């Protein structure tokens, strides 16, 4: 005789021998990363092998369902009839103790930012599903968003250190979201975002065929910045490096236009062409 449940089928017979629940007293040695809204992949990576190694993964993935609280006693005679009332199921008590230990472990691994995912949940599986639905399903959208930010990253008025710092944060966020960025991709996006005065160096590094890490690139950019310090001084507030680069790149036209009022004209067009202004002043 068997009793069907929505969760499982329980055979009415002698209950399985009692076992002592695993208190997970050593969990803190293996589970140290607190879950946030950005590190679901890392958090899950540390928990799954730990629970599997303890033989407890079935509690959170549903393969070890909760037993019935009460079970029917075995028949008391050969006719199969019984007059005894249902008995408490010892397996249910042990399962509950074990599940609450796992639930406590999961809750202790949550940061305050995501603690709301455990509120109102009574079993470890309920908390696990709540976390997976809330943070796991949005991983692809987050990856696409971060990758778009990286592709559109530009140095602008930032120093090389500031620019590379923003790039490094995006690389780390993408890794946490489950989309590691290769060195070739890092170099491509970063070189594309550099100011014009650094692009010759970026081109030479690209031609070398050896991708470099962000710390290595930082050393190259700092050296290049020192070499170009006299030609490309730090921009004043509201003035971009690219503007200074344009002004220096077209020095002939720029000086010609700026000195035109004094009659020198430009050095870049036709000789010292502005002397006509000095030699032949307009007549009244």
| 3 state SS for the chain | CEEECCCCEEECCCCCCCCCCCCCCCHHHHCCCCECCCCHHHHHHHHHHHHHHCCCHHHHHCCCCCCCCEECCCCCCCCCCCCCCCEECHHHHHHHHHHHHHHHHHHHCECHHHHHHHCCCCCHHHHHHHHHHHHHCCHHHHHHHHHHHHHCCCCCCCCHHHHHHHHHHHHHHHHHCCCCCCHHHHHHHHHHHCCHHHHHHHHHHHHHCCCCCHHHHHHHHHHHHHHCCCCCCCCCCCCCHHHHHHHHHCHHHHHHHHHHHHCCCCCCCCCCCCHHHHHCCCCC
Query: Where do the structural domains in the chain lie, given as residue ranges?
Result: 2-136, 139-231
Mean pLDDT per block of 10 residues along the chain (284 residues) reads: 40 47 78 87 89 93 92 69 78 94 94 95 95 80 87 92 93 83 93 89 86 90 79 50 41 42 44 47 50
The H-or-E segment that residue 278 falls in is helix 275-279
| Model pLDDT, residue 167 | 95
Going by C-beta distance under 8 Å and a sequence separation of 6 or more, which residues neighbour residue 269? 252, 253, 256
Name the nearest CA neighbour of 101 among 136, 51, 61: 51
Residue 30 CB-half CA count within 13 A: 17
| Model pLDDT, residue 255 | 43
| Model pLDDT, residue 1 | 43
| Model pLDDT, residue 76 | 65
* CA-CA-CA-CA dihedral for 46, 47, 52, 53, to nearest 10: 60
**Cα–Cα distances in angstroms (integers) from residue 47 to residues 27, 52, 59, 80, 146, in the given order:** 9, 8, 13, 47, 25
């Amino acid at each position: 005789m068997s009793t069907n449940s929505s969760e499982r089928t329980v055979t009415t017979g002698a209950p399985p021998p009692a076992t002592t629940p695993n208190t997970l007293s050593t969990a803190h040695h293996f589970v140290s990363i607190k879950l946030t809204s950005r590190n679901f992949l890392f958090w899950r990576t540390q928990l799954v092998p730990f629970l599997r190694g303890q033989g407890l993964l079935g509690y959170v993935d549903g393969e070890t369902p909760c037993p019935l609280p009460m079970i029917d006693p075995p028949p008391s005679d050969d006719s199969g009839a019984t007059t005894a009332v249902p008995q408490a199921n010892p397996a249910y008590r042990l399962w509950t103790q074990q599940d609450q230990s796992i639930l406590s472990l999961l809750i202790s691994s949550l940061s305050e930012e995501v603690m709301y995912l455990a509120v109102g949940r009574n079993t470890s599986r309920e908390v696990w599903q709540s976390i997976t639905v809330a943070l796991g399903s949005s991983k692809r959208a987050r990856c696409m968003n971060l990758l778009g930010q990286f592709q559109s990253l530009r140095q602008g008025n930032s120093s090389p250190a500031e620019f590379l710092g923003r790039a490094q944060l995006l690389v780390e966020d993408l890794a946490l979201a489950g989309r590691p960025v290769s060195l070739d991709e890092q170099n491509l996006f970063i070189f594309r975002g550099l100011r014009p005065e650094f692009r010759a160096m970026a081109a030479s590094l690209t031609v070398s065929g050896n991708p470099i890490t962000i710390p290595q690139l930082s050393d190259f950019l700092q050296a290049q910045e020192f070499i170009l310090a006299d030609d490309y001084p730090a921009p004043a507030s509201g003035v971009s490096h690219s503007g200074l680069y344009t002004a220096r790149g077209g020095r002939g036209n720029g000086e010609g236009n700026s000195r035109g009022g004094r009659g020198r004209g430009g050095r870049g067009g036709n000789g010292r062409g502005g002397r006509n202004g000095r030699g032949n002043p307009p007549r009244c």
